Structure 1
Amino acid sequence: MSWKWGGQMNNKCIYYVEGPCEQQLVAALKENPAKLIPGKIKVYNVVQNLLPKSQLLSIQCGTTIVLAFDTDVEQTTNLKKNLERLRKYCGRLHIVYLPQVLNLEDELVRCTDVQNVVDLTRSNGVRNFKTDFCKLKVKDCRAMLERHGLKTERLWTTKVPKAFAFVESNSNRIKV
């Protein structure tokens, strides 16, 4: 499967997601019928940590890089440095931002029919929610999200806090 971006065809995509719950969400949304374009998922917090140069040098020219991150902590220094490094070491990248306002739990509540994120998994609290959500099989996670009316077009579209104003609102570029 290929997708078109600015007149170019490409089929390489790498998702850098903040943690295992984001990894689970992206994997579930890539299930058939796909709601996101295919790609490799790597758990790496690009807001807290700098991407290693060795990893940057292995990214092929023209790859779509997808960055999923929370916006509840207004610290953007490393995110900005990662963007500079991606542009410096990688040729002709396409960067897609999946800013979670303020975090994954808020995104899921905003985009489903639940009032509280724990209602998705019937967990005993937010901490248990994360554990329960990540333990689900990918297909079961997708089915659970669909049962609760997940609207993927609403995911990652909320206006970001001021500290993240440099982040482009372009999550629609990876949605199928």
Structure 2
Amino acid sequence: MTKERFIYFVEGETEKLLVNTLKSEMKLIESGSVKKFNVIQDLIKNSNLIDIKPGYIVILIFDTDVQNTDILLKNINILNKSSIIKDVICIPQVLNFEDELIRSCSIKKIIELTSSKSVKDFKRDFCKFTPIRLKSTLEKRKFDIDLLWNQNPKGDFKTIENKSKKIKNK
């Protein structure tokens, strides 16, 4: 049996750190490379696919707190039409990264995770974590992988099914 090969396209540095921690330190999701690329705002070009070898599965992780899905739908179509891509897995963050972490940890406010002084400081403070420290922090906050990326979006994103179960290790 051949091992699937995955590549994650994530919106920003916070998602990149989380995905790297979940796959490498915690072994909770499938292993693969991680590229920072906002599939909601930026159209995928051939140069974005240059590192992808035939047979890869592309995972798109994106926020759903915006109102326009035009570029996202174009990107999904581009990837689905590509002869080198085996599959495209969409993982909508309902509504955004912070909401997903609040839902999957025993915290009421996102600043509790990083001990940030304000919501504005959260992303900066989160990005200061090493993967090992983030793993420890998530474990202390009773992180539950089953609660992360477990909702289907509403509104403009309702047609995009959340397929996170395909990458979660159980």
TM-score calculated relative to the size of structure 2: 0.93
Q: What's the CA shift for 1:57?
A: 5.1
Q: Does 1:21 align with 2:7?
A: no
Q: What's the CA shift for 1:92?
A: 4.7
Of 83, 88, 93 in structure 2, the residue corresponding to residue 95 of structure 1 is: 88
Residue matched to 1:115: 108
Output the amino acid matched with 2:64. Answer: T
Paired-residue identity, %: 36
Residue matched to 2:39: 46
Q: What's the CA shift for 1:60?
A: 2.3
Measure the CA separation in 1 of the matches of 2:83 and 2:161: 19
Pairing 1:24-35 to 2, within 5 Å after superposition: 24-35=17-28
Residue matched to 1:131: 124
Of 153, 161, 167 in structure 1, the residue corresponding to residue 160 of structure 2 is: 167
Query: Contact (CA 8 Å) 1:57, 1:90: kept in 2 or not?
Result: no
Query: Contact (CA 8 Å) 2:39, 2:62: kept in 1 or not?
Result: yes
Query: Contact (CA 8 Å) 1:71, 1:99: kept in 2 or not?
Result: yes
Measure the CA separation in 2 of the matches of 1:36 and 1:42: 16
Measure the CA separation in 1 of the matches of 2:164 and 2:110: 22
Q: What's the CA shift for 1:50?
A: 0.6
Measure the CA separation in 2 of the matches of 1:90 and 1:103: 31
Residue matched to 2:55: 62
Q: Does 1:73 align with 2:59?
A: no
Query: Contact (CA 8 Å) 2:80, 2:88: kept in 1 or not?
Result: no
The alignment partner of 2:89 has SS state of strand
Measured against aligned partners, the alpha-carbon deviations of 1:69-126 in whole angstroms (never above 9, x if no partner) come to 0000021000011011112223352211221110000000011100000000100111
TM-score calculated relative to the size of structure 1: 0.90
Q: CA RMSD, aligned part only?
A: 1.5
Measure the CA separation in 1 of the matches of 2:29 and 2:51: 23
Output the amino acid matched with 1:164. Answer: F
Measure the CA separation in 2 of the matches of 1:96 and 1:143: 28
Gaps of 5+ in 1: 1-7
Measure the CA separation in 2 of the matches of 1:76 and 1:51: 14
The alignment partner of 1:16 has SS state of strand
Of 5, 11, 17 in structure 1, the residue corresponding to residue 4 of structure 2 is: 11
Measure the CA separation in 2 of the matches of 1:105 and 1:33: 19
Out of 157-166 and 18-27, give the one that drifted further: 157-166
Query: Contact (CA 8 Å) 2:111, 2:122: kept in 1 or not?
Result: yes
Residue matched to 1:143: 136
The alignment partner of 1:31 has SS state of helix
